[in-house]
């Protein structure tokens, strides 16, 4: 097993990519803390983990809130004794409008949930990870590597995640902490439900990559697992595209 006995936190663990990652980590022997704002979805992930005799715990968490993130790390260490892996995955989409029409409140919501959350996750977990080394995997997006019309806040936040990942890799590499990101393309989760409603747009979006299909959460979980495992022991500061060739399309 690739993560035997390791203690992990997965933010947004009640959702598509987060839940798939939580289940995958558990199958590989990790203790998994599922951190999500949505209690019923978070608890459901833990139920699925326990159903397969894994070790999981739900902690209600708001990734935008510093105290809540600090409490998450505290509860994890209290319950499982340490922390080895943080997956900063929770995030939200945005309404598709020109930047001049975007409400400032929505800009703040998207930046706080998708970028400040990554800063907070790292700020509160790195002191714990420094004790014996560890791994962080941040979830960016294809839209963190490539501009697209009408998603200004999401573009800015996810682009920020890529550079924050490089920054932390440089700052904490000598402490034995690896920090990487994944950049998923279009993945079949709740976040893209809105896109599916517009048939014409969806037929373009869903095929805009080399493989001509959307991805599924397990395919992103596999990449996160790889980066979190010892197989990636010499990889840090990188952003791995998991997009069916969307970036090169
Ligand atoms: N699905 C895609 O096409 C796609 C593509 C690129 C990147 N991503 C990124 O993947 C990550 C996971 O998204 P997903 O596609 O699984 O969507 P999802 O909506 O299924 O899951 C997101 C989870 O995050 C949780 N969450 C939202 N705000 C939170 C908060 N403030 N505090 C704690 N939890 C919160 C939600 O409750 C939900 O369980 C996000 O960062 C998203 O931006 C998704």
Pairing status of strand 177-184 against strand 55-60: unpaired
CA of 191 to the centre of ligand 1 (A): 7
**Token reading at 42:** 């978070």
CA of 155 to the centre of ligand 1 (A): 15
Tell me, what's the pLDDT at 132?
Answer: 96
Distances (CA, A) of 34 to 121, 172, 185: 14, 25, 23
Instruction: Establish whether residue 239 lines the binding site of ligand 1, counting it when its CB lies within 6 angstroms of any ligand atom.
Output: no
Distances (CA, A) of 18 to 35, 84, 129, 216, 219: 9, 17, 21, 12, 12
User: Which residue is it, tokens 């893209």?
Assistant: 192
Domain count, the chain: 1
Whether 154 is a known active-site residue: answer yes
Angle subtended at Cα 46 by Cα 71 and Cα 229, rounded to the nearest 5 degrees: 80
In a domain, 234, yes or no: yes
In a domain, 79, yes or no: yes
Tell me, what's the pLDDT at 18?
Answer: 99
- Rounded Cα distance, 11 and 36, in Å: 6
**Which residue has the CA at smallest separation from atom 40 of ligand 1?**
91
Q: Could you say which residues of the chain have pLDDT below 70?
A: none
In a domain, 209, yes or no: no
Helix (H) or strand (E) holding 200: helix 199-205
**Which residue has the CA at smallest separation from atom 22 of ligand 1?**
15
- Choose one of 91, 151, 160, 205 to mutate for the ligand 1 pocket test, by most ligand atoms within 8 angstroms of C-beta: 91
105: containing domain? 7-188+218-241
In a domain, 199, yes or no: no
- CATH code of the domain covering residue 168: 3.40.50.720
**Token reading at 138:** 């941040």
Nearest to 139 by CA among 193, 189, 180, 94: 180
- Rounded Cα distance, 220 and 223, in Å: 5
In a domain, 206, yes or no: no
In a domain, 160, yes or no: yes
The burial class, CB within 10 Å (0-12 / 13-18 / 19+), for 105 is exposed
In a domain, 105, yes or no: yes
Helix (H) or strand (E) holding 55: strand 55-60
Pairing status of strand 7-11 against strand 85-88: parallel
The atom number, within ligand 1, closest to the CA of 38 reads 37
In a domain, 57, yes or no: yes
Q: Where are the alpha helices (DSSP H) in 9-151?
A: 16-27, 39-51, 66-80, 104-111, 117-129
Pairing status of strand 239-242 against strand 177-184: parallel
Instruction: Establish whether residue 128 lines the binding site of ligand 1, counting it when its CB lies within 6 angstroms of any ligand atom.
Output: no
Instruction: Establish whether residue 141 lines the binding site of ligand 1, counting it when its CB lies within 6 angstroms of any ligand atom.
Output: yes
């Amino acid at each position: 097993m690739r993560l035997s006995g390791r203690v992990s936190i997965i933010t947004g663990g009640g959702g598509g990519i987060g839940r798939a990652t939580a289940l995958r980590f558990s199958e590989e022997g990790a203790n998994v803390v599922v951190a999500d704002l949505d209690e019923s979805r978070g608890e459901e992930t833990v139920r699925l983990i326990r159903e397969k005799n894994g070790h999981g715990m739900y902690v209600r968490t708001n990734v935008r809130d510093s105290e809540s993130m600090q409490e998450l790390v505290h509860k994890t260490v209290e319950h499982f004794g340490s922390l080895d892996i943080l997956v900063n995955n929770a995030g939200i989409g945005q309404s598709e409008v020109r930047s001049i029409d975007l409400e400032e409140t929505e800009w703040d919501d998207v930046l706080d949930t998708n970028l400040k959350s990554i800063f907070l996750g790292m700020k509160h977990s790195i002191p714990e990870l420094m004790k014996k080394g560890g791994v962080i995997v941040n979830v960016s997006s294809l839209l963190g590597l490539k501009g697209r019309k009408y998603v200004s806040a999401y573009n800015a936040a996810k682009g920020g995640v890529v550079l924050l990942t490089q920054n932390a890799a440089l700052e904490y590499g000598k402490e034995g902490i690896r920090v990487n990101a994944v950049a998923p393309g279009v993945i079949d989760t709740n976040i893209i439900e809105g896109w599916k409603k517009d048939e014409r747009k969806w037929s373009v979006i869903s095929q805009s990559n080399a493989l001509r299909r959307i991805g599924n959460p397990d395919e992103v979980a596999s990449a996160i697992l790889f980066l979190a495992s010892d197989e990636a022991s010499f990889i840090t500061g990188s952003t791995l595209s998991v997009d069916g060739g969307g970036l090169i399309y």
